[in-house]
Structure 1
Amino acid sequence: MVSDSRTPVVLCWHMHQPVYQDQSSGEFLFPWVYLHCIKDYVDMAAHLEAHPDARAVVNFAPVLLEQIEEYLVQIERWRHDGSPMGDPLLAALVSDCLPEPGSPGFLELMEKCLRANANRIIKRFSPYKRLSELAGFYRTRPDIQRYISWQFLADLLVWYHLGWMGETVRRNHPVIQSLQEKSHQFSMEDRRALLDVIAELMASLGPRYRHLAQSGQVELAMSPWAHPIVPLLLDLESASEAIPDIKMPEHTDYAGGTERAVWHLKQGRQVFHRFFGEEPAGCWASEGALSQQTLSLLHQQGFRWSASGDSVAHNSIRLAQEQFGLKKSPDIHQPFVFADEPLTVFFRDDGLSDLIGFTYADWHAEDAVGDLVHHIENIASENRDGDMPVISVILDGENAWEYYPENGYYFLDELYRVLENHSSLRLTTYKELLQKPVCSAAQLPHLVAGSWIYGTFSTWIGDPDKNRAWDLLCEAKQHYDRAMDSGALSAEQKEQASRQLGICEGSDWFWWFGDYNPAAVVRDFEHLYRRHLTSLYEIIGNPAPASLFQPLSQGGGEPARGGAMRPGHDAGATE
C-alpha cells in the first residue's frame, strides 16, 4: 500500500462548560449547558457527518457530559410525572403559569431571554428583534409594565430558544422551521414541541459522537473531571516557572493536590467511558495547562498524548538553550517528549487557532478558509531537513461560532470541504499519528509549566482577585481534610464532599475574576463560586467563614469576544 505523503493536520475542538447546577437544590443557575448543546455540539457533529472524509479530535470535559445526562433525566421526569425541571428558563418554556406581568419574576425572565449575541442572533430574526425592542421600552417604563401580556414573555421564551438553535437544525428540522414561520402567538403545544426538539437534540449527542468515533472519523479525548488547572493543584509555585516574579496567594501550597488531580483524572475516565463506551488515548489537560509533573501524572494514568499552546513550547525551547546548551531550535510543528516521560505532547499553532477564534468571524467564508489553508500550506512547505510537520489547530469548539454568521455554518462547511480532499494536506487525529508516526518526536529536557493562554498561568493566578479565590479554596480544603479524617462523615457524605470540592477546583471561577472581565459575567461566576464553596462547608458540617460572603471581584472590562476566549499570545509580549 502506498503511504500517504500529504502533511498531517489535526483539528482539535474542545467542548467544555463548568458546573452550573447548585448541588444542594438541583437548580441550574445558568442555561449555558443545554443552549450550547442545541447550538454548538449538534452543529459540530453535523458538519463532520456531512463530510465523511474529514477527521477531527473532539475533547469533552466530563462535568459537561454529566450535566447533559442530568438535563435529560429532569426532562424525562417532567414528562412522566410533572416533576419540576431545575433550569428556570427551560421550565418557563413549558410552564402553564408564567409570572405576573411586571413582576420581578417576569422581568427577570425577560432579561434572561435577551442574553444572546445581539448582531448574530437577536437582530437576525425580525420577530426576536421586535420583542427585544419592546423589552427595551418596557425596561424604561415601570409604570406600564403591569400591562404587558403574558404572551409577550411566551413568545420571547420561544424565540430565545429558536435563536440559540444550531444552524444545521434550523435548516433541516420541520418543527423548528414551522415555529419560525409562525413567528408569534406561540401556544403551549408549540412550546412543548420545542422542548421535545431540545430533548431530542441533547439525547442524540452521545450516540452521534460515539458513531463518529467508531467510524474512525473522530478521536474522542477528555479533560480532568471538573476542568481544574492540574499543574496548580500539583504545585502552586509552578506558576513562577513562566513568570518568576508572579504574586502568589497567601497560601502557597494546595495540600493534597496530587491526590486531587488523580481523583479528577479517574473520575473523568469513569464518566467518559459511561458516555462514550471507550477509553480515551489523549487528555487535553484543562486549558492546555501542563508542567513536567503533569506529564508524569498523565502517563501514570494511562494517557498517551496531551497538548498545549505554542508559547509553552517556545518557553521550553528557550530554557533548553539557556540552561542545557541546546543548539538547534526544534520546530513546534511536530510531536515532543520531555525528559524521560514517554507521553507525547503536541503544540497548537496559536496564530492559526486565533485566526479562527478572533479574526475570521467577519470574513466571507471562502476567503477565511482560503487564507487559513494558505497559511497551513506555507507551514507544510517549509524545509525541515526531510521531516514532515504535524500542524495542530486547537480551539474552543463552542464560543467562537456565535460571532460568525449562521453559527459558523458556511465557514465550517467550507473548511471541511477544502481539507477533506486536499492534494497536499490530510486531516488526521493524534491517536492515528501515534499509531503511524510521520516523524520522530523532538526531545527537550524540561517542559516549562504554562497554558495555551500566553504560555503562563496568569489567567488563573497572580491577580489579587484570583489569589483571594485561591486562598478561599485552600482554606476550604484544610477544613475538608480535617472533616474527612474525623470519622464524622459517612461514606456517602465523603463522596459528596469530594465531588463538591472537585467542582470548586474547576478552572472557570479563577478565569473570570479580574477587572479586565465584563462586570455582569464576573458577578455571575463569583457568586456561583462562593455558592459552591458554601455548599462544601455545609456537606462537611462546618460553618462557612465570613470572608466567603464578601464579593471577590467586580470586573468592568470589555475583552474581545466577551472574555469567554482569549488569544494564545499576549499582545504586549514578544517571542
Structure 2
Amino acid sequence: MKRLLTLVAILALLATACSRSDNADTATTTGDADTTTTSSSTPTTTPPAAEVDLELMLLYHQHQPLYPKDADGVVTRPWVRVHATKDYWDMAAILRDYPGVKATFNLTPVLLLQLEELSNGVKDIYWVLTEVPADELTDENKQFIYDRFFDSSPKQIGRFPRYQELRTQKDSFGIESFTEGDFRDLQLLFNLSWTDPSFLAEEPLAGLVAKERDYTEADKATVMDEHLRIIREVIPLHREMWDSGQIEVITTPLAHPILPLIADTNLAIVGDPTGLLPTNQFRQIADARTHIQEGLAEAERLLGRRPEGMWPGEGAVAEAVMPFFAKEGVRWVATGEDVLAPSLGLGTFERDDTGTVIEAEALYQPYLADNPNDPDVAMFFRDLTISDQMGFQYSGKSPDEAAADFLGRLQAIKDRLEAQGASGTHVVSVILDGENAWESYDNDGIPFFQALYTTIEGADFFETVTPGEILDEQGDSLTVLPEVWPGAWFSPNYATWIGEPEEATAWDYLFRMRRDFGAAERSGDVPEADLAAARRIMLFAEGSDWFWWYGADQDSGNDDYFDTAYRELLGQVYDLLGEDRPGYVSVPIIPETAVLAERSPEDILTIQVGAGPGDEGWQSAGYYPGGVNDLVDGLYYAFDKDNLYLRVDGPSRATVGTQEIYLGAQSGTKRAVTMDDRVLGFGATHLVRFEGAGACLYAPLPVPGNPQLPDCQEIEASTSGDSYIVAVPVRSFGALEEGDSVLIKTLFGELFPTDGPALAQAPNLSDLEVVRTVADPTGDDHGPGTYSYPTDGVFIPNSYDLTNFEVGLSGDNVVFNIEVNTVINNAWGSPNGLSIQTFDIYIDQDPGSGTGAQDLIDGRNASLSPENGWEYGVTVEGWQPAVYVAQADGTTEETKPTFDVVVLGDRGKVIVRIPQAIFGEGDPAEWGYALVVMSQEGFPAPGVRRVRDVSATAEQWRVGGGDSAAGDTRIIDALWEIEGEAEALLAQRIVPLVAPTQ
C-alpha cells in the first residue's frame, strides 16, 4: 500500500490542485490552523473570501438482503414487498412534484431481482397468511400472525386507531382474547400500515382507512391487489425518471459484497490490526470482478440502461479493487468520509460545535482514484453528519425546522469554504439509507420531504445535481487521491464484517465452500447448467448481509435466522454440485440462546470430586434443575483456576446406556451433533464420557460422519448413587477470560437442557497483573452535585454510580475492569450489553507533562487539568465503541479497532480488553488514568459523541440539574477516591486524573 501523505503534504496537494487539466483553476488552501467554532470568523492568514459554487448530491441507497424461500417457494420475510409499497415507489415519485430537485437512487441487484420475482407472482409468508380467510386460520397461523403482524413502528401503528387498539389488547390480554374479527382486522392493518400514505389518501384504500375496523375478506384482497400493482410500478418509475434526467440510477456489485474482502480478507488488517482474521485467507479476485460484471448486467437488463455509477456494498472500497470498477466501465463510485480522511492522511475530519467540517475544501469535492493501467474512477464522499441528521435526527423535529436546519448546514459549509479562500465548484454528498428511516417520521416522512424539497427549490446559493452531471462539467479537473484507504461508508475499516470469532468462522465456512466449488469446477464432472446455478448461489453467499449480523457489533434480535439462511446457501451449492452437504454446513455459527441458570456461582469454587454430592461447595455452584419430564434431575457447575467442575444428577448407565457431557468453548473445532447424530444447537469442542468408574475427555472432536474419537484423556471423576461428577481442566479450553462462556449439554438418555444449552460463565481465572485499583465513593452520581437521572424507568437508581476501577495486564492485553453500584440494564438490547451507560477511559502516558489532548471527547464538556493531557481515549458503549488518539497538534482521531467488551450485568461489571499494541510503547503501571460515565444517547445533539444532554429539570430522556447547551458537563460521575472532590472539579469542568503515585 502506498505510504500515507502527511497533513502538510495534503495541504500542499490541495494548494497546487493536482489536476487532470493544465488549464484548470488552481484550488488553494492556507493550511490554516484556526479551529474557532464560529463559522463566519476569518483568520488573518486566509485569503479574502471568494465565490463558491455549491452543489448538493443526494443519494438514496435502496437494498434488502436475499431472503430465503421455504420448501413451497414462499419468501420467509416481507421486507422487499412492504418497503416497495411504502418507500421505493414514493421516494422517487415525490420528486416529480419538485422538478428543481435532482437525486440519485441506488437499486441493488439483490433488490431488483426480488422485486422481479414478486412482480411475477412470488409471495412472502406474511402475504400468504394475509390471504388465508380468518375463519380458516390454524392455531399455528394465528400464533404467527399474533407474534409478527405487529412488526411495524409505533408511528405506523398509531396512524390506525384499530391497529393501536389491537396492539394494546395483545399487551394486556394475550392471544386468547383475539376473535376471528380481530385476526381479520390485524391481517389487513399490518399491510395497510406498510403502504405509502399517498396511496392511503386515494381509492380504493382511502375507504378502507376510513372504515377503520370490521374488515372483510374482500377488503384484504383489495389491499394485496394494490400491493402487487405498486410493486410492479417501482422499476418502471425509476426507469422513466432516469430517462427524464431528474434522477440518476446506479447499482451495486451483484450480491452486495464487501468487495475488498472478497478480493483479500487480509485487507482487514490495515484498518483493524488487532481484529481476528479467519484461519484461511479468502482471496477470490475473479469473484470480485464477477460481482461487478453481473451486478451491472442485471441492472441493465431490468432498468433498460447500464448504470455509470456504483455504490459498492456498504461503501466498501480499497486501492486494490478500484481497477476492477474501471475495467467494467464504471465511471464513479461513492463511499464515506471515513475513507477519504485517512486516504488524505487526515485521520478524521474535525468539526466545530455547529457540526461544520473544518477541513471543508478537502471533503467537499469529488476525487479520482488513480488506476495506472485503466481509466481513473471518480469518487464521491459522504458527509456523515448531514446524512445522519436526515437518517436519524430530523424525525424528532418539525418538517420546517428540519428543512431549515438542513439549509443552515449547507450555508455554513459555503461560508467555511469562502472564508478559507476556496473558489469554484464544491460538492456536498448526502448519502443515506432510503428505506428504513421514514418509519420514525410523521406520515412516513412525506411532510418532511415536502418541506425539504420546497426549501431546496427556493434556495439560491446551491443547486442539486447528479454525479453524472458533475463529471460532465468537471471530470477532467478532479484532484487525484494519493491512495484509497480500505474502509466503508461509516468506518475506516471493515470491523463490522470481519474481526470477531463468529465472523472468522463465517469466512472460514465461505472459504471451504469456495474451495470445494473450485475443485468441482476443475473436475469437469458437473453439468454446465448445474455449475452455473451453483456459481450464482456461491456469489450470493459472498454478500455482506450475512457477515453484518455475526459478532457482537450488530444485533437483529433474530440473528439465527440469518445464520440459517447463510448456511442454507452454502448447502445449496453442494446440492447443485451433486455432492453431499459437509457436516460443517449444519453447524450453527450462532449457537442457540443459552438457558439461564436458576443459580449462578458468585466466585471461584474448588470442589472435592471424591466427596461426591456431599461437598458443601455444590450449595453455591451454578444450578440448572431438571423438569418433571426430564431424565436429568439437575446440572451443577463451578470453576476454580484449574478446573471446570460438573455434576449431573441423572439415571444410571444401566438405564440409559452412554452418559456424555458435550462442552462448547469459544475456540476449537466445533461439532454440531452428538456422536450418535443428535443436534446439539451449538458447536461442541469437547466431550466428556463416563466410562467404568472414571471419565474420558475427548478433544478435538471428529467431524460428523467420522465415528473415531481421539485418544482418551483420563480426568478426575466420581460416581455416587445417581450423581456423576467430573473435573475438566481449564487449560483444555485455551485461554478462558472472565466473562467467557462454556456451553453445556448432557446426554443421559436424552439431551438436557432441552430448551437450549446451559452456560457456564467463567469468573476471573486469569493471573491478571493488577497495576492500578481505585475505589470511588458511592452516592456521588450527580455530576457537579446537582444532577438527577432522566425520569424514564430504564434509568434505574445507581446505574451511573462508579464504585471501582481496575487496570491490569493479561497476556498481550491491557484490561480495564469497571464496576457500578447496581445491575447493568441492557434496556435496548445492545450487542455488548451496554444500553444506557457510556464509559470513557482517558490514558495519560506521561502524567504531569501536559502533553496530549486536554479536552475530552466531543460533547463531554470537560477537560483534564492543564498539567495533564491524554494520549488515548477509550469510549465504551453499546453500539459504537472506539479509541481516540491524540495528535501532536492537540486534535484527536477516532479509530475503531476490534477490542472486547464483556458486560456482567448481574454483577454491575464491565470488562474491557484492548491489545496493548494499540497504545504503543510504555508501561501501563506508569500511566495516569481518568474514568467518567455518562448517559448513552443514540440521537445526540450536534457535535456530541453519543451522550445524553443535561437540562435544568430532568426529563424522560434528559439528565436534570444543569444546561449542557451552555457548557455544563454531561458527565454524571468521575472516578476519584476522595469524597466530594469530584463534584467540585466537575463544576469547573475538570476531570481528575489518577496518577501512578496515588
1:449-508 Cα offsets, whole Å, 9 max, x none, are 110121211111102111111111111111111122222221211121111112111111
Q: Which of these two proteins has the greater Rg computed from alpha carbons? A: 2
Task: After TM superposition, give the deviation of residue 98 of structure 1 in Å.
Answer: 6.1
Letter in 2 for 1:454: S
Q: Does 1:16 align with 2:54?
A: no
- 2:184 and 2:215 in contact (8 A); partners too: yes
Counterparts of 1:377-456 in structure 2, within 5 Å, are 377-381=411-415, 382-383=417-418, 384-437=421-474, 440-456=477-493
In the other structure, the counterpart of 1:305 is 332
Structure with greater strand percent = 2
Q: Which has the higher contact order (CA 8 A, sep 6+)?
A: 1
Cα distance, 1:276 vs structure 2: 1.4
**Unmatched runs of 5 consecutive residues or more in structure 2:** 1-50, 349-358, 594-825, 832-877, 885-892, 895-998
Q: CA deviation at 1:194?
A: 0.9
How does 1:57-456 map onto structure 2 within 5 Å? 57-74=104-121, 85-96=122-133, 100=137, 103-117=139-153, 119-137=154-172, 139=174, 145=176, 148-171=178-201, 173-254=202-283, 257-318=284-345, 331-340=362-371, 342-381=376-415, 382-383=417-418, 384-437=421-474, 440-456=477-493
CA distance in 1, matches of 2:116, 2:223: 19
Could you say what secondary structure the match of 2:362 adopts?
coil
Please give the alpha-carbon distance, in whole angstroms, between the structure 2 residues aligned to 1:369 and 1:356: 10
Alpha-carbon distance in structure 1 between the residues aligned to 2:278 and 2:566: 17
SS at 2:579 equivalent: coil
Contact 1:22 1:532 (C-alpha < 8 Å) held by counterparts: no
My pick for the range that moved more, 21-30 or 293-302, is 21-30
Aligned equivalent of 1:509: 546
Match runs of 1:37-48 below 5 Å: 37-48=84-95
Provide Cα deviations, 1:361-398, integer angstroms capped at 9, x if missing partner.
11111111111211111112323432321110001110
**1:456-535 aligned within 5 A:** 456-518=493-555, 520-535=557-572
| Paired residue type of 1:65 | L
For 2:60 and 2:255, locate their aligned partners in 1 and report how far apart those are by CA, in whole Å: 18
Counterparts of 1:54 and 1:187 in 2: how far apart (Å)? 42
* Separation in 2, partners of 1:97, 1:329: 59
Deviations 1:44-79 (A, max 9, x none): 0221112111100101101111111101111xxxxx
Change over 3 Å in CA distance of 1:559–1:320 after alignment to 2: closer
Normalising by structure 2, report the TM-score: 0.52
Q: Using the TM superposition, give the Cα deviation of residue 420 of structure 1 relative to its aligned residue in structure 2, in angstroms.
A: 2.4
Q: What is the aligned residue count? A: 540
Q: What CA distance in whole angstroms lies between the structure 2 residues aligned with 1:127 and 1:288? A: 41
- Contact 2:53–2:424 (Cα < 8 Å) also in 1: no
Secondary structure in 1 aligned to 2:484? coil
**Worse-superposed segment, 545-554 or 282-291:** 545-554
1:481 & 1:22 partners in 2: Cα distance? 26
Contact 1:113–1:156 (CA under 8 A) maintained in structure 2: yes
**Matched position secondary structure for 2:431:** strand
CA contact (8 A) 1:500 1:536 kept: yes
Q: Matched residue of 2:105: which SS?
A: strand
Q: 1:559 offset after TM fit, Å?
A: 5.0
Amino acid at match of 2:366: P
TM-score by length of 1: 0.88
- Worse-superposed segment, 499-508 or 332-341: 332-341
The 3 A distance-change label for structure 1 pair 23 and 308 is farther
Relative to structure 1, the CA distance from residue 549 to residue 138 in structure 2 (aligned partners, 3 Å threshold; closer, same or farther) is farther
The equivalent of 1:324 in structure 2 is: none
Deviation of 1:571 after TM superposition, in Å, equals 6.1
Equivalent position amino acid for 1:41 in 2 = Y
The aligned residue for residue 79 of structure 1 is none
Distance in 2, matches of 1:333 and 1:199, equals 41
Alpha carbons 1:235, 1:253 under 8 Å: kept: yes
| Preserved CA contact (<8 Å) 1:517 1:558 | no
CA contact (8 A) 2:52 2:426 kept: no
Q: Give the stretch that moved more between structures: 361-370 or 431-440.
A: 431-440
Q: Is the CA contact 1:6–1:423 (under 8 Å) kept in the aligned structure 2?
A: no
Counterpart amino acid of residue 267 in structure 2: S
CA distance in 2, matches of 1:547, 1:133: 44
Q: For 1:389, what is the secondary structure of its paired residue? A: strand
Alpha-carbon distance between aligned partners in 2 of 1:300 and 1:570, rounded to the nearest angstrom: 38
Residue type at the aligned position of 2:563: E
Cα deviation, residue 519, structure 1 = 5.6
CA contact (8 A) 1:313 1:347 kept: yes
CA distance in 2, matches of 1:559, 1:387: 45
Matching residue of 2:864: none
CA–CA separation in structure 2 for the residues paired with 1:31 and 1:98 = 23
Q: Quick one: distance in 2 between partners of 1:400 and 1:352?
A: 14
